[in-house]
Structure 1
């Protein structure tokens, strides 16, 4: 393990000790960048989650989408976010970047060290929707892809 990985482990332990403060910062950052989402911090069992919904219609998209975001350091692993399209319902398809639970695959974890802030995931959600509408029209997924 190198020094950067060691520092990231200590940072994550700090986040887990003060999750409410961490989520407050993530909430302010996301709402500062995106007016379309309403977020709140909720206690779930013994942990906290940042949850929110909103409507998003990126430039170039023909329709508006209802988005649900759940963000928590207690999910485990490098991924703190779970972002889903609630309406219109998008079924899982192996050719689009989506997990079987219908949460969006916005990036390859090996390409990013540590956690991704929620505001970046929300930005990538807009890009995902543009690629999805392209897929609906032409049947191919545009952009980089890693098989997983």
Structure 2
């Protein structure tokens, strides 16, 4: 059996990935304002998909190599399993076994469109009597599937 050798990464490698993600997000979505704090990329902005009645203030927190944690800051949306939202107001957007998130996965290509889709399904949920019409994963909304918003590997 081969022993795995861990090669230490150069200091600052996380900043390189975070800055790259930041530039791509700001290039494609001018409504998001991003900053890097303690090895976490944080982007805040207002999203109002076409035909939706409300604008939603969202926070995206990205830790290198992890799926971003996305939170609805406004309006106050009551968390619940039916709407794919964790108790901390973060969204369940992705079923981890369907796609492995790495430092090379581009946040702007997945997370922002998934947030927009979630908002559309949420507004449909509000008008159709509490029926969630979006895709559902076989298991979601557990502590194990919850995304992180801080860099634990420092």
Which stretch of structure 1 is more off in the superposition, 88-97 or 78-87?
A: 78-87
Q: 1:50 matched to which residue of 2?
A: 41
Whether the aligned pair in 2 keeps the contact of 1:37 and 1:54 (CA below 8 Å) is yes
State the alpha-carbon separation in 2 of the partners of residues 16 and 69 from structure 1: 24
- Pick closer, same or farther for the CA change 1:106–1:81 going to 2, 3 Å: same
Aligned residues: 130
TM-score after normalising by structure 2:
0.76
**How much has 1:79 moved relative to structure 2?**
3.4
Q: 1:66 matched to which residue of 2?
A: 57
C-alpha distance after superposition, 1:127-146 (max 9, x if no partner) = 11000000111111112211
State the alpha-carbon separation in 2 of the partners of residues 144 and 105 from structure 1: 11
Whether the aligned pair in 1 keeps the contact of 2:58 and 2:74 (CA below 8 Å) is yes
Which structure is richer in relative contact order (CA contacts within 8 A, separation 6 or more)?
A: 2
TM-score after normalising by structure 1:
0.79
State the alpha-carbon separation in 2 of the partners of residues 80 and 15 from structure 1: 23
Please, which of 63, 67, 75 is the counterpart of residue 88 of structure 1?
Answer: 75
Whether the aligned pair in 2 keeps the contact of 1:79 and 1:109 (CA below 8 Å) is no
**How much has 1:111 moved relative to structure 2?**
0.6
Structure 1 residue runs of 5 or longer lacking an equivalent are 1-5
C-alpha distance after superposition, 1:85-132 (max 9, x if no partner) = 111011111211112222111111111023343212011100110000
| Structure with greater strand percent | 1
Q: Does 1:100 align with 2:95?
A: no
Q: Does 1:142 align with 2:133?
A: yes
State the alpha-carbon separation in 1 of the partners of residues 127 and 10 from structure 2: 42
For residue 61 of structure 1, give the secondary structure of its aligned residue in structure 2. coil
State the alpha-carbon separation in 1 of the partners of residues 45 and 10 from structure 2: 26
Runs of 4+ in 1 over 6 A off after TM superposition: none
| Structure with greater helix percent | 1
Structure 2 residue runs of 5 or longer lacking an equivalent are 140-154
